Chains A and B, each alone.
With several copies, the nearest count.
Chain A
Amino acid sequence: MTDDRTETDDRTATDDRTETGDRTASRVDDVGQASPLTERIEAILLIIDEPIGLVALAAAVGSPVPAVRQAIETLVEDYDGRGRGPRRGFELREVGGGWRLYVRDDHDDLVAEFVGGQAPARLSQAALETLAVIAYKQPVTRSQVASIRAVNVDSVVRTLLARGLITELFADSETGAINYGTTDALLQHLGINSLDELPPISPLLDDGADGFDEGTIR
Chain B
Amino acid sequence: MAPSPEVEPTAPPAEAPDTADTTDADAGFRVSLSNFDGPFDLLLTLISKHEMDITEVSLSAVTNEFIAYLKELDEDEELDQASEFLVVAATLLDMKVAGLLPQGELVDAEAVALLEARDLLFARLLQYRAFKEVSAWFARCLQREDRRHVRAVRLDEKHRRKTPELVWSLTVDDFAALALLAFAPKEIPHVGLDHLHAPLVSIREQAAIVVTLLRGAESVSFRELVAGVREPGIVVARFISVLELYRHAALSFEQLEPLGELTLRWAADSWSDETLATLGADYDR
Interface residues of A (CB under 8 A from B): 43, 45-49, 90, 100-103, 105, 108, 111-112, 115-116, 118-126, 128-133, 135-136, 141-143, 148-151, 154, 157-158, 161-163, 174-178, 188-192, 197-199, 201, 204-205, 207-209, 211-212, 214, 216-218
Contact = CB atoms under 8 A, between A and B. Distances in A.
A112 B162 CA distance: 6
Which 6 pairs from chain A and chain B are nearest by CB? A208-B126, A132-B179, A204-B130, A129-B182, A199-B176, A112-B162
Contact of B175 (A46, A142, A163, A198): A198
Contacts, number: 263
A178 B191 CA distance: 9
Given A149-B182, A212-B123, A190 B170 contact: yes
Contacts of B10: 207
Size bracket of the B interface: 35 or more
Contact of B189 (A90, A133, A178): A178
**Most A CB atoms within 10 A — which of B123, B171, B188?**
B188
Contact of A189 (B124, B155, B168): B168
Contacts of B53: 218
Interface stretch (B85-93, B225-233, B235-243): B85-93
Interface of B: 10, 22-23, 25, 48-50, 53, 76, 79-81, 83-84, 86-87, 90-91, 115, 118-119, 122-124, 126-135, 137-139, 141-156, 158-160, 162-173, 175-176, 178-186, 188-189, 191-192, 195
A162 B127 contact: no
Contacts of A128: 23, 135, 138-139, 142, 170, 178
Contacts of B126: 205, 207-209, 211
B178 A151 contact: no
B163 A119 contact: yes
Contacts of B22: 122, 124-125
Contact of B154 (A141, A150, A161, A218): A161
A47 B159 contact: yes
A201 B179 contact: yes
Given A133-B179, A142-B188, A216-B50, A204 B134 contact: yes
Contact of B164 (A102, A116, A141, A149): A116
Contact of A115 (B115, B155, B192): B155
Contacts of A45: 151
Contacts of B150: 100-103
A88 B9 CA distance: 42
Given A142-B191, A211-B50, A150 B151 contact: no
13 contacts: A46-B149, A49-B153, A103-B148, A125-B83, A132-B183, A136-B179, A136-B183, A148-B182, A174-B195, A190-B145, A208-B129, A209-B126, A216-B50
B142 A190 contact: yes
Given A132-B135, A211-B50, A150 B186 contact: yes
B154 A162 contact: yes
**Most A CB atoms within 10 A — which of B53, B148, B166, B170?**
B148
Given A148-B127, A192-B172, A211 B122 contact: yes
B172 A198 contact: yes
B162 A136 contact: no
A177 B142 CA distance: 20
Nearest to A48: B153
Nearest to B99: A218
Contact of B127 (A43, A49, A208): A208
A115 B130 contact: no
Nearest to B116: A217
Contact of A103 (B131, B156, B172): B156
Nearest to A118: B163
Contacts of A211: 48-50, 122, 126, 185
A42 B23 CA distance: 34
Nearest to A185: B166
A137 to B, nearest CB: 9
Nearest to B50: A216
